Amino acid sequence: MHMSAGQRTLRTIAGWLVVGLFFFPIYFWTSVAFRDAKDIFSWPPKFFEFPPTVRNFEQVFGISLGFGFGNQDVVTPGGGNFYMAPRLWDSIVIASMSTVLAVVVATLAAYSLSRMDFRGRHHFVNWVLSTRMMPPVAVAVPMFFIFKQFNLLDTYTGIILVHGLMNLPLAVLLLKSFFDDIPAEIDESALLDGASRWTIFRRIVLPMAKGGIAATAVLCFIFSWTEFLFVLTLTQTSIKTVPVVSSTFVTSIGTAWGNMAALGAAAIVPAFIVIMLVQRHLVRGLTMGSLKQ
């Protein structure tokens, strides 16, 4: 459709404004991470004009950045209420291990769902989809009791298992759509040549689906990274991921907004980077393989 020069300019400005509006909360949150308390608790609130400080990051990660600006405290690693480096580590371990679990199990299943014809396959796919509908609270309660029995509460194993399971429906459906893109004739001719299913899967199909598997892994990682209810319910003191620990910064004597924002900003950055790497498959991932870009 044709647009006049005026329309083009107007539409460009409108587009930038709208996306700018969506970006504002992210900017504001990040800016809070670089503020002293007095610049956070001010009325009218400050939007741009405040002296930046890295103190919040130093307290949260127990490191001395010493860039020489802002008022610097002596930071004692491992000390202080807001020392959160181990929580970032918890998040990393849980997200990566649960991703491995989900992707390995889902790759096997998705391959057979894409390539093998068996009775009830359609119903099986629907069953997998319907498990995505389970409300987390309905799963968390029984999991709490089974975990208590098997001493899995407050352990990496427990949360990794639950996050891996939570991501299975997404991973299976998404990977199936990527396998469906690879022509089945390739498998067929290899089968005629006497290759086994396993060989075909490992030597031919897996390498061809690399990109799809990577995109699936990224999405599983992000969903584990951002998950809240399971970690809240199934951990106690020794393990906590970033989203859950952030909510504990709200204390009876006030909220440590600066520290919380610093931790939050630090946790969001890696997710930003990986999501940018899979832009090409993002919509397919968000719709569990249903829509292709």
- Binders of another protein among 128-167, rule CB under 8 A? 128-146, 162, 164-166
Q: How far is the CB of 185 from another protein (least distance, A)?
A: 9
Please return the burial class of 80, using the count of CB atoms within 10 Å of its CB with bins 0-12, 13-18 and 19+. middle
Min dist CB 219 to another protein, Å, is 10
The yes or no reply on residue 259 touching another protein (CB under 8 A) is no
Nearer to another protein, 32 or 75 (CB): 32
User: Toward another protein, which CB reaches closer, 73 or 181?
Assistant: 181
**Residue 111 CB, nearest distance to another protein (Å)?**
6
From residue 9 to residue 28, what is the string marking binding to another protein with x (rule CB under 8 A)?
A: --xx-xxx-xx--xx-xx-x
Q: How far apart are CA 233 and CA 245, in angstroms?
A: 12
- Part of the chain binding another protein (CB under 8 A), chosen from 58-66, 74-82, 150-158, 187-195: 187-195
Q: In 3-state terms, what secondary structure has residue 42?
A: coil
Joined tokens for residue 13: 């400005």
Q: How far is CA 265 from CA 246, 260, 272, 283, 288, in A?
A: 11, 8, 10, 25, 27
Q: Where are the alpha helices (DSSP H) in 34-116?
A: 37-40, 55-61, 85-115
In contact, 155 and 143? CB cutoff 8 Å? no
Q: CB–CB of 253/27 below 8 Å?
A: no
Residues numbered 217-256 forming contacts with another protein, rule: CB under 8 A: 222, 225-229, 232-233, 242-244, 246-247, 250, 255
Reading the block at residue 111, the tokens are 């391959």
Stretch that binds another protein, among 54-62, 67-75, 82-90, 282-290 (CB under 8 A): 282-290
Of the two residues 54 and 257, which places its CB atom closer to another protein in the complex? 257
Interface residue with another protein, options 180, 204, 206, 214 (CB under 8 A) = 180
Distance, in Å, from the CA atom of 33 to the CA atom of 55, rounded to the nearest integer, reads: 9
Structure tokens at 115: 């390539």
**Nearest CA among 248, 229, 223, 267 for reference residue 88:** 267
Among positions 56-115, residues that touch another protein (CB under 8 A) are 105-106, 108-109, 111-115
Alpha carbons 291 and 49: distance in angstroms, whole number: 44
Number of residues that bind another protein (CB under 8 A): 114
Interface pick for another protein out of 52, 85, 197, 206 (rule CB under 8 A): 197
Site stretch for another protein (CB under 8 A), options 48-56, 72-80, 81-89, 170-178: 170-178
